[in-house]
Each structure stands twice: as C-alpha cells, then as structure tokens.
Structure 1
C-alpha cells in the first residue's frame, strides 16, 4: 500500500492496481492514467508511476483515462522530469497538461428558479424534446422571459445550453464504450452527424477520437525532448541509468557514448555533462549505484516514492524529489558514522530538527535516533560474536 497526501497523476505502466480517493475506488490497468482530486491510497501489484508537481492545477473530481500504448514512454519521461523538477518552480509538460483539460464539461447552471428547474430536467433526460415554449408554459412564463433567464446567468441561449448539456452527456457515454450512433440517439440528437458537428464545435475533436476528461485526441504522439544533466550545481554524486535510447557524457576532453542499460555516475560540482538524445530517457537512481547493480523501473519508482511523500508535505524543504532522496540517503551514512541527528539535519539543509526527523521517518520508517541506535546495536552485536 502506498499513500499520497496531495493530488497527483498515477499512471499504470504495467499490471493492475486500485486507487482510492475518499470513498471512491478506481481500478487501473496497464495504460490507464488516474488524475486524483486529493489524497489517494494505491494498492495492488501493478507498476504505478507517480507524477507530482506542487503546481498541479486543482482537479474537482478524480478522473481515469486510457492512453494509447504509444504514450507509455512519454509517461516514463514525464515521471523522470518530475523527479528533477525544482519544487515550486516547475510544472507538467504541455502535452501532459492538456490531458487535464476537459472540454466536455456540463454548462453552468442558471440561477433563476424556472431556468434552473428546466436545466435540471435536461440534465436528467438530455434526450427530452420539449421546446423552449413547452418549458415556458410549464412554468407560466413567456418564452422570451425563460430565454432571458438562461442568457443572463449562463451567457448561453436555451438552445446553446441544451446542446452543451447533450455534448457533456454524450462524452460520459462515449467514455463507457457506447458507440457514436447509440450515443447520439441516447442524448437526443436526431442524427449521428448532428452529434458529430456539435461535439467537434465544443471539444475540438470528433466523438470517435474523444478521450474522457481530456482535450487530447491522440492523433499525434508527443515527442520526448532532448534533455541535459549538469553536475556543476549538484551537491551530491548521482548515478544515471539510460533507460531508453542514448546519451553522451562529456567531462573536459573526455567523451563517452551511452546506450540503453548503461549506468554513469556524475560527480558533484564537476564539469560532467550528460546530454540525453531526443526520444531517450535517463533515470536517476537517487545516489551512487553499486558497480554490479542492474536497475529496473519498478526499483526506481520504489526508491523515489517515499521522497515524493516528503516533497508533498506542506513546508517541504525545497530542491527536488531527487535531491530529497539524495539527502536522506546521505543522512543514513552520516548517522552510521556517529554524527548526531541535529548535526546531520543541519548539514543537509533541513530547516529544523523536527523537519529532518519527519522526513527521515517517512522515507526510512524510523526516526534518525532510532536508526542510529539500531545500527550501533547491530555493530556491537557483530563485534561481540566475532570476539567470542
């Protein structure tokens, strides 16, 4: 089980998983993206990529959408970018941000009582064929008065409002697998072509290309851009794994070409420079990897998920998810070396001992003092056994 304290994107890369937001449960399978509207709990064995930025726009309701298979590596690249992004100063890439924009939302409700009652009837039964005059007669109004009530509070005429409501209802049906022809009939359009014209006018895409909750039509797959990693500003050594494609490492006169599966460690504050080619992905490992380490995507996600929880805390200490993971891994080494927790927290730029202890517990499951005491006990026991 994994708990997330803030809204985020959860992409199911492989397998199946369950995401619970409030009292709602969402089943995810490979290729599906869940955009949560608040804190979430993830269960199941599926490989989920958590993508979080503290600048994520607010999502009123949790949504699940199915992305084409060609988007798999686009989402891995977005996950990699989110690990390195400065907290408070970065956001989703444009193609991913467009996934969060839903162009098929229901129109605003009118405020006048009669118009509001009519709108509620149309939302309950979008196929209703009663005219403006029919509804006006029901409420003892003239058609002009009822029309004015819609226009004044929604900026839409009665006809425009009803069409927008039908498109929103159609989008919901399409997302559940209904065909365009069946959907058109269910929401009150006289012909499939009428739905297609109205749908395209409101959403910018044809009903057959619509993805629930998203303005992306998937006609074009986003390109993974070239990226670069510079070690000059880094405070800690970091190993990078070429997950996909290729990259070039340069350091002074030294140059090395890297391909899929290669590992390379960039020393902190050095002139080492990693140029990752377009269409390629390099993933950090959260520290210096062992010489014989063979990483995999699931292990990388597991390493950074606790650090993401720290980053999402109110009053997070800045930097990035990657830098938080690096600092908390260094904290273990410093504690094992005998440094006091207060000194370790200060050396690693945490704002207070409490902030350091809270972050350490989230990542390592124990307090800094508890971790240090356990290490000292294990070391003493080992020495005693060896001496005996």
Structure 2
C-alpha cells in the first residue's frame, strides 16, 4: 500500500547547508575515501599541506598508525567543508588499497560512478545487503558430507555452519554498535578497550554484553564475523593474501589455520570448490563493494577509467526491529517497507519514519538508492505506524548532508541530532494543514500556500499577494470573496484554522507548547495558549497529554 504523502513537492525551500568538520579523536585505523558531490572540502594529513577538493573530486586518505612517520608528527587528519558542501566520507575495508595507495591522493570521480558511491555510503551505514552469492550459499557449500563442525560452538546454539557465516547480533546498544561496525568492516583491529571507548562503555561491560547477547566472547564473535567475510571475499575471487588483509589477519598462515579449524578446509580449497559449482561467480554486497572500490583505486593510479557498474542491483535488509524510530529517504528509484503482511511503497523523494519495535524488512529495487536521515527515540516521537513525507528534488543536497551528519563524524560543530525530527514534524504539520478547505481560485490558492510556507517566519502572517509580496493595500477583495465562497471561511478565519491544524500535529509529535507557538507565528506563548484553548476547548498542554495517552 502507499501512504499518503505528507509534504507536497516543491512547496518549500531547504535550509542552507552549513560547514562541517571531522577530526578523529582516537586516530583513524581505516582508510577513508572522501568524495565531494558539490562545494569545497579541505583535507590535511599529519603536518602536511592542505589538499583542496572541488565538486566531482575525491581524496584517498590512507589508514593511520603509519610506522614510517615519527610518533610526534602523527597529528592525524582533519577534514573541513565550506558552507553549501556535500561531501561523502566512505570507509573501504581496511585492506582495500593499502598496498596500492600509501599516501594522500587526489582523484577525479566520473559522473557515472556518483550514484554508486552514494549507495556505497548507504550500504556502509545500514543493514542492507544484496542478492547473489550470500552467506546462506556459503553455508550450503559447507554443509557437504565430511565437513568438520566449527570449533567453539556457542552454548545452546545450533553448531551448523550457517550459524557462523552471519553471527548473531548482541542486543545491548553499545555492543550492537560495535558488532555492526565489525560486520561492515571485519578488518578493523581495535582492542576491546578502544571499542568500548568509542561506544561510551567500559571493556568489562562490552565483554559481558557480547556473551549475554550472543553466547560468544567478543574475540570469538569477531573471529566468526571475520571468517564469514573471508568466505564471501574468497567467493568473489580475491586471493588468500588479499582476503587475509581485508578481514584483519596479520598473515596468510593465520587465516588458513583459523579457516581450516572452522570449516575443515583451507581458504584455497574453499575458493576452488566455489568456482567449481554451477552458477558460481555471484557476490555478496560486501564483496561487490570491495571489488568496485578496488576499481576506483586503480582509477586513481592509472590513466584509464574503469567502467562504472551498469546497474545498481536490488538490495534488502534482513527482518529486524529497532529500538528507535529510523528515518529513511528514497533518493533514486523506488523501494518498499514490509511490516507483517502489509507492504508500504517508497517512491522517489519520499522519506519514511520506520517505527521502533516493529519487525520489518526494507527493500530497494534495481537502480534504486536510499539514505538514512536520522533517528528519533520513542520519547521524542510517538509513532506506531509508518509516516511519510515527500521532498522535492530541490532538497536532495540538503538531505544528503543530513544523512552524512547523522551517520558519520563529518558534521557541523553545533550538530543537533534532533534537527531532522523538527524539520520532518514541521513539514508534516504544514502539509496536513491542507486538510482545512482550500480555495480553488488560482490567486486565492496561491495566497493560502504562501501563508502555509511562511507560517512560522517573522512577519509570515502578514497579508501577501499571490506572488508573495506584501501589498500595502491588503489582499484584493476578489481573493477575500474566493475564500468565503470556496471554503466557507473568511481569510482570517481560514488562517486561524490552518494555524490550529499545524499546532495540533506539532503538539502530537511532542513539541513543547512554547516551540509550537513560535512555529505557528505567535510571538508569545500566552497568546497562543488562549487562541488554542478558544479553538479546541482545552489548553495546548492538555491536548498534548490526551494525545500521548491515546498513543500508549
């Protein structure tokens, strides 16, 4: 089913994009590929000169802990972006490009690679995965007669091979964040103490949460994760040395011992069996992304430009629940959200709040791209069913910036994660104000739409003409007449009803009455409270408490 759109395309302009910065606090342990979609970015590595990047340019930033640089000179790296800039920080696997590009390198990004890079960012920060050669296929291969059962089976868990191609995820938030990062890049080689610091936990708590949530110690879980990824990369055609680097083993021998101990065959034997099977040659999303990132790195080093992927294959998440509401936006193509036996369609430009605690699957069709825009806690947003807003293409760059700020460390100094919630709530409220009767006369309708667009601005409630300019003589008599004839209300009464419609949605979304007063054009809270009480028969606070009780 399709949800009703809650924001008409083109009915408002996006806010300005502020400047942003990223200065790693604990050093960077993985390479970074920075691509500037639009605007200007600056990159400085250690004490070297600053690299300036414009639209369509990128930089390869090698991983930290470079032994050849004296410790006192390892200042790390810093990225800053000018206002109006959208720059995607992409984190390839630790082993990708390590030998080929040990230095900071500038490169040009061909236009036909750009949507793939946006999708790569999405795949790195969400649980999406692709079709083709999947962990389940790995398990099928390993389930052959004579395969040794994996060592160290998790207590109370099925010790069959498929249980180790994709290990169970811990439930505690900090441990789950670590697990998700390791699933995206199993080659990250941080100590438990450093992982704990990254998620604001202690090493003891992190270890306990892994055991409680998965039945495995942190080290065992990480090994399972690395070996499952190793099988994917082997199936994608990487050689054993490359796979060892990609999944975090110090040597080929270390990977071989661990892989054989787990699956009863060496990585080399596994690779031969994969390509001997009918239909071999497909890849998991993770392996395909690594392969295509390798192509980009070759592009940086050589004059020839590799061909961009011909299409973006379909992708989907596993069935899962979140303990927070998640906002996801369709930048290109189309997708869907399955909750139970209901399917909610997601079209180009539509942003969807996915409610917390509901098991769901999110999917993308071929040549489609989505991005996460942010999260909201159940205390900040009362939501029991999906809620959608449609944004016009004019919002694309701003929403990409919101996604980058929400899911990476490249963000403004005063970044407020709640900003996207406030923006979304305002847009839903503005569109729902259209549920008050709208005049059909073109000039009267233009006046109504202009009022809705400017409802929270200083001076936004003054009389305006159809072209948005203030008219010293007021709005013409025929427009007033159109409002009376077509809505049954005077223009003043219609504005009052529209304000109250917006106010109700903002209050139901959890906004404080003082904020609602400002956003609906009232200079003072008592004036707003009096107007709201006169219209509804109860105060803003009483209305908000009633709606909160209904949603529980």
TM-score by length of 1: 0.47
* Structure of higher RCO (CA pairs closer than 8 Å, 6+ residues apart): 2
TM-score by length of 2: 0.34
